[in-house]
A = this chain, B = another copy of it.
């Protein structure tokens, strides 16, 4: 038995999300199909995070185990990339890991990036790859307000009703907002996140950025611990899984 850790980049636009679905294509299914075509083995590919439909990854971490075949990691990566065509999924790193290394359960930190394009004109290159916000955003005010959310809190307000986590209490390590011309980037890091947490936090930060909310409104929404207090849930388009720590 050989366990391989993969680092995977994918454009989430054509997928129903990471996780295998009965009703549409998923990234997991695309990779598992490539693994099976190469090795004949029906291996399960476990990821550090199960991204939603339309969410992207620059460096998703995942693992799989092969029982009868033990290709060199480089050869496995090359074969998977050839078999994944034309899906917008690429294996950018592959290595052998100990049998107890688990992409999801061994992960001690996850980070996401959220891309907002703040302009009037419709998106061309970034259609489906960013959230276009037409109202001018005050990124400085967004960054300042974001610091209210950093730390250990009950994030019920920022949690999808479909969230399966045992507890709504999470520790947010980082929530930074920076502007580079038309691009407003939000960086989020935590050991783990609730379902829709990043998108819900970004949606509320945009309400601060365009002046509909003050920082005090954001603090009140957090304190409410009530999904109904959520200002806005940002679309999946702008969300990228950018890294996992082990």
Contact = CB atoms under 8 A, between A and B. Distances in A.
A91 interface: yes
Contact of A88 (B10, B78, B88, B127): B127
Interface string A73-98: 00001100100110011111000000
Interface stretch (A31-39, A100-108, A115-123, A201-209): A115-123
B10 A90 contact: no
Interface residues of A, number: 23
A9 interface: yes
A113 interface: no
Contacts of A81: 121-122
Contact of A11 (B84, B121, B124): B124
A189 interface: no
Number of copies: 2
A129 interface: yes
A215 to B, nearest CB: 32
A85 B122 contact: yes
Interface string A1-18: 000000001110000000
Nearest to A56: B125
A146 B199 CA distance: 45
Interface of A: 9-11, 56, 77-78, 81, 84-85, 88-92, 119-125, 127, 129
Given A9-B121, A90-B121, 13 more contacts: A9-B124, A10-B124, A11-B125, A56-B125, A81-B121, A84-B122, A85-B122, A88-B124, A88-B127, A90-B122, A92-B119, A92-B121, A125-B129
25 contacts: A9-B121, A9-B124, A9-B125, A10-B124, A11-B124, A11-B125, A56-B125, A77-B121, A78-B120, A81-B121, A81-B122, A84-B122, A85-B122, A88-B124, A88-B125, A88-B127, A89-B124, A90-B121, A90-B122, A90-B123, A90-B124, A91-B121, A92-B119, A92-B121, A125-B129
